[in-house]
Chains A and B, each alone.
Chain A
Amino acid sequence: MITLTHYLLVSAALFSIGLYVILSKQNAIQILIGIELMLNAAILNLVAFGKFDKINNGGQSFALFAIVLAAATTAVALAIVLNVYRRYKTIDPGKINQLKD
Chain B
Amino acid sequence: MSLVTVMFYLMAVIAVGSAVYVAASKNLVRSVFMFFATLFALAGLYVLSLADFVAVTQVVVYVGGILVLILFAFMLSGRESLAVLAQQTNRLIAVNKLPAMLVAMAFFGLLAYVFLHARINDAPWLQEAAANQNVFTPQDVTINHLGVNLMTTYLLPFEVISILLLMALAGAAHLSRKEAEA
Contact = CB atoms under 8 A, between A and B. Distances in A.
Given A65-B157, A75-B169, A54 B104 contact: no
Interface residues of B, number: 89
A61 B154 contact: yes
Secondary structure of the A contact surface, majority rule:
helix
Contact of A78 (B115, B158, B172): B172
A21 B77 contact: no
Interface in A38-64: 40, 43-44, 47-48, 50-57, 59-64
A64 B53 CA distance: 9
Contact of A17 (B4, B19, B46, B171): B19
Interface residues of A, number: 74
Interface in B91-119: 96-97, 99-101, 103-105, 107-108, 111-112, 115-116
A99 interface: no
18 contacts: A2-B8, A4-B121, A5-B121, A6-B12, A10-B15, A13-B19, A19-B100, A19-B107, A52-B130, A54-B135, A60-B53, A61-B154, A75-B168, A79-B171, A79-B175, A79-B176, A82-B77, A92-B84
Interface of A: 1-10, 12-21, 23-24, 26-27, 29-30, 32-34, 36-37, 40, 43-44, 47-48, 50-57, 59-65, 67-76, 78-83, 85-87, 89-92
Interface of B: 4-5, 8, 12, 15-16, 19-20, 22-23, 28, 31-32, 35, 38-39, 42, 45-46, 48-51, 53-54, 57-58, 61-62, 65-66, 69-70, 72-74, 76-78, 80-81, 84-85, 88, 96-97, 99-101, 103-105, 107-108, 111-112, 115-116, 120-121, 125-126, 129-130, 133-136, 140, 142, 145-146, 149-150, 153-154, 157-158, 161, 164-165, 168-169, 171-173, 175-176, 182
